[in-house]
Amino acid sequence: MVDKKVQTKLRGAYIEYLKEVENKEITQDMEEKIKYPFNSFAIEKLDIILSTRYLLKLPERPEGLDTRDHLGNKRVRSVGELMQVEFERAFLKLFNIFLKSCCCSIYQ
């Protein structure tokens, strides 16, 4: 079974396709009755056409992107940030060792 959110997006893309490409006059009442044809689980020509149209229109409507679930909406650190953290830890350890050795040599 196809997810409800996916069905809604496919239905919207299908209605836009019917209006723009096939030049069909679709009223509000007709829009509510139109359903995307889920005939099979195989990819059909219409699926490819609608997917391509949707992807080409994404730069115009960035709100179409769903970032809510992307990586659990967690902050992803770059490799440089991770290396910086490790270097800070290493230099902090080195600094503490240096301080201990200097303090110990002063008191001896």
Do 32 and 59 share a domain, yes or no? yes
Q: What is the pLDDT along the chain (108 residues), one digit of tens a residue?
A: 567 777 777 778 888 888 888 888 888 888 777 777 776 677 778 888 888 888 888 778 766 665 555 555 566 678 888 888 899 999 999 898 888 888 766 665
Q: Could you give the number of structural domains in the chain?
A: 2
Do both 32 and 51 map to the same domain?
A: yes
Distance (Å, whole) CA 90 – CA 86? 6
**Domain shared by 38 and 62, yes or no:** yes
**How far, in Å, CA of 88 to CA of 15, rounded?**
55
Return the DSSP state at 76: P
pTM of this prediction?
0.46
Residues 82, 45 share a domain: no
What range does the domain containing 99 cover?
Answer: 76-108
